[in-house]
Amino acid sequence: MSDGNDNKAGSNQMWGGRFAEGPSAIMREINASIPFDKALWRQDIRASKAHVAMLGAQGIVAPQDAATISAGLDQVAAEYAANGVPENWDLEDIHMTTESRLAELVGPVAGRLHTARSRNDQVATDFRLWVRDAVDEALAGLNALQKALVARAGEHVNSIMPGFTHLQTAQPVTLGHHLMAYYEMASRDVSRFADARARMNQSPLGAAALAGTGFPIDRFATAKALDFDRPTDNSLDTVSDRDFALDYLMAAAQCALHLSRLAEEFIIWASQPFGFVTLPDSLSTGSSIMPQKKNPDAAELVRGHAGRIIGSLTSLMITMKGLPLAYSKDMQDDKPPVFEAAGLLTLCLAAMTGMVDSTKFRTDRMRQAAELGYATATDLADWLVRQANIPFREAHHITGGAVKLAESKGIALDQLSLEELQAIDPRITEAVYPALDVEASVASRASHGGTAPSQVEQRVAQARAALGME
């Protein structure tokens, strides 16, 4: 898409008489964007209809001509919906493809459509509409993921599992608490997409090539027709701005990071050494040579797709980093990374929602891992501080000895006899055993945001209400 102010509908030479020769085959191929920007056809038709309606209302175009053009655009849209968008590289892009077909349908009056606009503000409007739709799709996907996380967390408020740091057993937590951690991540993703949508919701239409137009247009009318809050305020910035696309990609990249982390959890949990989950068959694959395998391919692809989404963000940032005002042809490359990222993000959200919703959690294995991983070691140290008035560093050393003994015997901490514990430190009494129980451990962590079932249950209820699940 290039700077275009020539109104000759259907022409395949937008440069008019400026050049003596037509484009070379190389130039024709490098210049054409129709193979990918045809995805904007719905937005292009919608924006064109809003524009011509305004032209008619303002008396810039005769009302009958405006009505003829609008009806013709409806017919073009019906053809695209039924048969797809044709790819004529001589027409370069979706805008000239549509205008060319419009001219075939309604005749020379089609040339009045491009009055008081440029392909620069046209593509800025179409692309912004498309990205706004992509934001809405991401928000819908996140909403479904959040509901799945909250529903499963509600089922497992009391299910005990090991909490990890450095992928080493740290302290016992509940599975519900663990799943709600990803709900919080998704909530931040929602806020980022919502913020991006609010910023981008201004209409570029009417900025024209770069300086505005001398025609008495009504930019507020076209903004309202396209559900924008208001028109943009600086024509130079308007046609050269792709912050809205970068905002979307930044939110998408952060969301993809969260989905990748969740996917990695399922990959680890599904491995035989962990055995915490049984993944749904619908999101797993087998091996061509090893019949026992059930591979977490969907989760692995979500993990992999995160890299491609981050790459899309990097690509557009580098494209934009050195461009002077206003429009430059480099900006034609803004759409492929956004289109790719949006498609991948939609898939990733759907895959992880399905995985959360359908996975079988093996809570018996989780609890066993928490017990044998000495997850209550911190509770023993805390008990020594509280009950025996021992400095924490000394209590930490004593606890280390107890863990070493239990590990050598292959048993949980609460299975050590009182005699064995007192041999490590005589200040330990029978009263220590409740503190070594994993259920007592998680129940004790009732501070705000803690893993205690009472806290998790409260947070699940709040989330259900926020999501309208009640």
The type of residue at 262 is L
Q: Is the Cβ–Cβ distance between 455 and 145 less than 8 Å?
A: no
Q: Is the Cβ–Cβ distance between 114 and 48 less than 8 Å?
A: no
Pick the catalytic residue: 70, 166, 178, 288? 166
The two beta strands, 160-165 and 168-174, are antiparallel
Q: Using CB atoms within 10 A of its CB, is residue 321 exposed (0-12), middle (13-18) or buried (19+)?
A: exposed
Pick the catalytic residue: 24, 191, 271, 287? 287
CA–CA dist 41, 39 (Å, integer): 6
Which segments of 3-118 does DSSP mark as H helices, in order?
25-31, 34-37, 41-57, 63-83, 94-106
- What is the CB-side half-sphere exposure of residue 50 using CA atoms within 13 A? 26
Q: Would you call 161 helix, strand, or coil by DSSP?
A: strand
Active site residue 287: yes
Q: Is the Cβ–Cβ distance between 172 and 435 less than 8 Å?
A: no
- Strand-pairing partners, residue 169, are 164
Q: Is the Cβ–Cβ distance between 207 and 237 less than 8 Å?
A: no
The type of residue at 321 is K
- Scanning the structure block, which residue is given the tokens 């060319």? 100
Is the dihedral angle over the CA atoms 18, 23, 29, 35 positive or is it negative?
A: positive
- Nearest CA to 5 out of 197, 216, 177, 239 is that of 239
CA–CA dist 172, 439 (Å, integer): 8
Active site residue 24: no
Query: Hey, which residues are catalytic here?
Result: 166, 287
